[in-house]
Amino acid sequence: MASGRGGALWCVGPFYRYRTHLDWLQQPDSQAIPSWRPLLARARLVPVYGLLFLGAARLFPLEYVRSEAFAARALPFRLFYMVPVFFYDYETIKNIDPYGTDFCVRVRDGMRYWNMSVQWWLAQYIYKSSPFRSYVMRWGARGAMRGRP
């Protein structure tokens, strides 16, 4: 968390729950944290999720969302159709692209692949809504997010 101008606090970084942060702070021994048993318990469900994914992709194709027939359907149907379509990926919680960050050539690309959720928020709510496009404004917004004058 960084302090901005006027004492305002800005949250910067990936999103996680307070309980996760509290568990991390109050752990008695980090070596005693069980890791293999929860991993294997979750891995057992991978084939089930794989079959559900294939079934959802076949029954609810994403291409149909872009068609005129889909736009003509009633709102409740379109809302229902989004549930299996969003089963495809979870990009909203993707914060870092490790490959893009490690193997990028330009600093600009590195910034794009690092802290992606904050970059998306800045693009949607700051850059696109500004009356002018300027690198000075972009760097100013990034500095304000990080608490720099």
Distinct helix (H) and strand (E) counts, the chain? 9, 2
Cα 108-113-117 angle, rounded to 5 deg: 115
- C-alpha 115/C-alpha 120 separation (Å) is 9
Confidence of residue 132 (pLDDT cuts 50, 70, 90): low
Q: Is 1 helix (H, G, I), strand (E, B) or coil?
A: coil
Please tell me which residue, 8 or 135, carries the higher pLDDT value: 135
Handedness of CA 45, 81, 15, 98 (dihedral sign): positive
CB burial string 121-131: b at 16+ within 10 A, e below? ebeeebeeeee
Looking at the DSSP assignment, which residues form a beta bridge with residue 3?
A: 9
The torsion angles phi and psi of 17, rounded to 5 degrees, stand at -75, 155
The pTM score is: 0.40
Highest mean pLDDT among 53-57, 109-113, 114-118, 138-142: 53-57
Q: What pLDDT is stored for residue 6 in this prediction?
A: 45
Is the pLDDT score of 23 beyond 90? no
Going by C-alpha positions, the residue among 83, 87, 77, 146 that lies closest to residue 111 is 146
In contact, 104 and 116? CB cutoff 8 Å: no
- 116: exposed, middle or buried (Cβ count in 10 Å: 0-12, 13-18, 19+): buried
In contact, 101 and 114? CB cutoff 8 Å: yes
Q: Which of 80-84, 85-89, 104-108 has the lowest mean pLDDT?
A: 85-89
Is the pLDDT score of 90 beyond 60? no
